[in-house]
Amino acid sequence: MPSLVEFLQSIVNGVGVGLIYGLVGIGFCVIYNASGIVNFAQGVFVMLGGMVCEVLLTQLGIPLIFAVALTIPLVAVSGIVMELAIVRPMMHRGATLFAVILATLAAQIMIERITLLTFGDRPRTYHEFTTGGPLKIGDVAIGYQLFWILGCGALLVLLLWLFFTRTRTGRALRACSQNREAAQLLGIPVARMMLIAFALSAALGAIAGILVTPTQYTAYNVGTPFGVNGFIAAIIGGFGRAGGALAGGLLLGVLQALAIVALGAGFKNVAALSFLLVVLLFFPNGLFAGFGKGAKAH
Amino acid sequence: MTSHVTTSIEPSGIRWQSILPIVAVLALAGLGLVSSDYIVTVLGFAFIYAIFCTGLNFFMGYTGQASFGQSAFAAIGGYGSAILCTDYGWEPLLALLATMVLSGIAAVLVGYPTLRLRGHYLAMATFALGLIVYEITIEWTALTQGYMGYSGIPPLGIAGFALDTLKHQLVALVVLSLIGVGIAARLRQSRFGRALASIAGSESAAQALGVDIARYKLIAFVIAALYASAAGSLFAHFVGFISPEIYGTTMVIQSFAMLYLGGIGTMWGPMIGAIIVSILPEALRGLKEMQDIAYTAVLIFILIFAPRGLAGLSVLFRRAHGRVQEKA
């Protein structure tokens, strides 16, 4: 039986990684809303974020703030390339849904292998943004990086909300998600919106990867768990609103942390994946069949 | 949703088009038998994958569904055979059949809730399935020996009669894969196969025609799982060693590359694709390290520019051929 300290500690850990899942989940939603596609390569942006940042920071010795400022646009470009080279030609040719999903999955594996050949299979990490810590509350230790994750997560949700409600581009993206043909008729450049959605989504993944790497490690193959868990977060949250995906991520992160305490670290992904199957079992169309309408309407 | 399935039904009677692939396969196998063991190994993999893809084609090509987690059933077959044969001294053929039954039961249990899903959710749920089994093969070391893998798996055989040489095994694999294609072809042309094609065309129309969609999908899924399980077992017996990576995401991508290259929804597509994709990296020697990148590149290229694969070319040919006949 785990003690109270263990229990609280696992919840603290779960909150951190859960917020990351939430950010990845938002990335899924941004692309899905704009294009109707679930990008199975979403996790690869997280991996690239961590890897590129590590290379810039540790190998090239660039200061943290510049490394981050460089990493995010670099990864965003990878999202743009994916849209231009794979998704767009397939959509133009009227490819089936499963074919597009498969192509994004293939893209993920291709990027992973290229990363493996370029940087090797050594797991990498870098120091936390603020050194020192962890903060001790009783026997529960809270790493400073968790506060960075919390702060950046909150800031990002606020910025996204402002972007989607206050800017022309954000509103145009929402118009695309409601009805692409109507948006086109209103003169919204739908093709460019899809490009923006992929870039934004990749940038979100990159930020998640940059934030989470100090608390664990990054390697060429960390993308898939992040992608799948982000997808689960998006489903729980209703596949529409950013806040929902973030809340879904938190729930999943905490559940997973508790599963680690109960079952051991090795089975954390099995626990999350089983949870996905259970969620899908009871909500065969996803939770957003119930909540989605409310999310779209606001 | 559009489907790749051609709804036309092949006329009965044997035509040269249906004999030609068999002859080609046998010729290739014969060529393999007089070559080095290395080439025999490559061809062996090709025919194992042909079995795997023929099953996958049943579920994706004929029925118009998607499973990104068929590697799970191959893992059950492979590890089942490995454990039963090395730890319990079972007959390889018996172990192969027993693990097929196990995979079938697993497919029913998993498919029953999962196959109600559609689109992205079906894709993600089946993908999750493959990942769950992959993680278990790594983490449940007491059962699977984790990354260490299982070695010393005996070659295929029954009642003391074992296929000791690689060439004997290749013959067995060719025969088994041809039987596999034959069974799939017979099922495709049966009442059951036509029901699957109707589901692929339009689920609501199929339902209106009285097709029990849930049941037929489940049966197609189970058949695909049986093929995958057999392929997994055969791999274990052929190589004598298995580890978690063999039944990982790479297997999924590789099999899809084969299926789409050969032509999804066609009778010979899976086997043609399996052979070409298996031989290609061997032909281009320098590609070894880049193998996975080449697979994914080929797959993406086909998905964009030729979603019907090489079999699409044969349809063109047949159309031209038909026109000539009409004129005559």
Measured between alpha carbons, how far is B71 from A116 in angstroms, rounded to an integer? 23
> Do B240 and B153 meet the contact criterion of CB atoms below 8 Å apart?
yes
pLDDT at B89: 80
Measured between alpha carbons, how far is A282 from A259 in angstroms, rounded to an integer? 21
How far does Cα A211 stand from its chain's mean position? 11
Q: Has residue B47 got a pLDDT over 90?
A: yes
Residue B127: list chain A partners with CB under 8 A.
Answer: 40, 105, 228
Inside any domain, residue B4: no
How far does Cα B161 stand from its chain's mean position? 27
Mean pLDDT of chain B: 82
Architecture of domain A4-297: Orthogonal Bundle (1.10)
Partner-chain contact B300 A107, CB within 8 Å: yes
Which tokens hold the place of B158? 């029954």
Which tokens hold the place of A147? 């506060």
Residue B244 belongs to a domain with what CATH number? 1.10.3470
Q: What is the pLDDT along chain A (298 residues), one digit of tens a residue?
A: 567 787 888 888 888 889 999 999 999 888 888 888 888 899 999 999 999 999 998 888 888 889 889 999 999 999 999 999 999 998 888 888 888 888 998 999 899 989 988 888 888 888 777 777 677 777 777 888 888 888 888 888 888 888 888 888 888 888 888 888 888 888 888 888 889 999 999 999 999 999 988 888 888 888 888 888 898 888 877 776 677 888 888 888 888 888 888 877 777 778 878 888 887 777 655 554 444 443 333 3
Partner-chain contact A113 B116, CB within 8 Å: no
Please state the domain count of chain B: 1
**B263 Cα to chain A: minimum distance (Å):** 13
**Residue B313 belongs to domain spanning:** 35-327
Residues in chain A: 298
Query: Among residues A253, A222, A291, which one has the least CA distance to residue A10?
Result: A253
Inside any domain, residue B229: yes
The residue to which tokens 């495709």 are assigned: B188
Dihedral sign computed on CA atoms, order B282, B284, B286, B291: negative
Which stretch, B4-13, B106-115, B117-126, B309-318, has highest mean pLDDT?
Answer: B106-115
Measured between alpha carbons, how far is B13 from B186 in angstroms, rounded to an integer? 13
Q: Where are the domains of chain A?
A: 4-297
Measured between alpha carbons, how far is B285 from B89 in angstroms, rounded to an integer? 39
3-state secondary structure of B260: helix
Partner-chain contact A109 B296, CB within 8 Å: yes
Partner-chain contact A89 B304, CB within 8 Å: yes
Helix B166-189 to helix B37-57 angle, to the nearest 10 degrees?
A: 20
Measured between alpha carbons, how far is A72 from B16 in angstroms, rounded to an integer? 59
**A69 Cα to chain B: minimum distance (Å):** 29
pLDDT at B1: 44
Residue A38: list chain B partners with CB under 8 A.
Answer: 120, 123-124
Q: With cut-offs at 50, 70 and 90, classify the pLDDT of residue B160.
A: low
A95: left (phi over 0), alpha (psi -120 to 50) or beta: beta
Q: What is the pLDDT of residues B207-229, one digit of tens each?
A: 888 888 888 999 999 999 999 99
Question: Nearest by CB to A95, which of B250, B295, B303?
Answer: B303
Partner-chain contact B131 A110, CB within 8 Å: no
Which tokens hold the place of A119? 């940087």
Residue B133: list chain A partners with CB under 8 A.
Answer: none
Q: Has residue B157 got a pLDDT over 80?
A: no
Inside any domain, residue B154: yes
Residue B60: list chain A partners with CB under 8 A.
Answer: 98
Inside any domain, residue B30: no
pLDDT at A2: 64
Which tokens hold the place of B155? 């070659």
Cβ-Cβ pairs closer than 8 A, A with B, add up to 125
Q: Has residue B192 got a pLDDT over 80?
A: yes
- C-alpha angle A75-A37-A18 in degrees, rounded to nearest 5: 60
Q: Please, where are the H alpha helices in B263-290?
A: 269-283
